[in-house]
Structure 1
Amino acid sequence: MLDHPNRAEDQAAPAQEDEHVPEEIRHGAKVIKDLAALLEALDRAPPLSKPWQRQLHAHLRNSDRCLQVLRITISLGRSDIEFASAAEKLVLSLRAASLPGVTGRADAATRAAIRLASQLAQEIVRLAKR
């Protein structure tokens, strides 16, 4: 196997590119990544044997769709208004998931994870309004 002479330089290039990305954008990307991971974990956690579990699962799927729309909005370079609108819809979907009727019977860890997801979504809205 031939070894590429500039392999070390190629691996260092992304780190150099990150230095030119504003801190606010890096923070926003991290929040979106964390929220996506949290929604994925929540989606796998509860069994779907009871009506409230199925309802929570449906709300989490809706929140995941809203997050995907937000990501697409960013990747297409849409206007700040569209970005803020997508972020607001994400917050509203997570608020619906955190209603007492939906999470009332969930364990404390699930309720805390949904609260954290809501806070992350609200952070995205704050970033969108800057």
Structure 2
Amino acid sequence: MNSSDAIETPATPVSDDINAKVRDLDELILLLRKSVPAGKTWGRQMQSQLKEADRCVEVLRLTLLLAREPAEVAAASAEVRDIIVAMDVSAAGGRADVTTRSALVLIRRLAETVAKHFQPPPSGG
């Protein structure tokens, strides 16, 4: 099964917009993994971080597919966001090229949007 197909028909109701964002996030991470040079120190570090981000997106896809509890989906989406934010901060202070940094900004925005969607509303009281 292709990882892009993991949420084609999710068991948990998810809007088409969020479905598309999760798919885009997955695809962009895979494309960035292919383009980051593994021959450079910053590239090897980013490759490792991208591999972890890819794993986290897969966990998010599975939590959606298996209709896990909302808290579990929220935690999975927050984990995706956190690893990508850390990667973006690391790249901004490192030697990553402009194209890689721009891709990370887009990936970060997608991850933040997805995570925000799954976070529970603040309890008023």
TM-score, normalized by the shorter chain, greater than 0.5: yes
Counterpart selection for 1:97 from 76, 87, 91: 87
Question: TM-score, normalised to structure 2's length?
Answer: 0.80
Instruction: Report the equivalent of 2:96.
Output: 106
Contact residue 55 and residue 102 of structure 1 kept, 8 A? no
Residue identity opposite 1:127 in structure 2: H
Aligned to 1:68: 58
1:100 shift after superposition: 3.5
Counterpart amino acid of residue 21 in structure 2: V
| Equivalent in 26, 51, 71 of residue 36 of structure 1 | 26
State TM-score, norm by structure 1: 0.77
Q: Could you tell me which residue of structure 1 aligns to residue 46 of structure 2?
A: 56
What secondary structure is seen at the aligned counterpart in 2 of 1:53?
A: helix
Q: Which one of 56, 78, 81 corresponds to residue 88 of structure 1?
A: 78
1:47 Cα shift?
Answer: 1.6
Deviations 1:16-37 (A, max 9, x none): xxxxxx8x61011000111111
Higher helix share: 1
Question: Could you list the runs of 4 or more consecutive aligned residues of structure 1 that deviate by over 4 angstroms after TM superposition?
Answer: none
**Gaps in structure 2 of 5+ consecutive residues:** 1-12, 121-125
Q: Is the CA contact (8 Å cut-off) linking 1:39 and 1:117 kept in structure 2?
A: yes
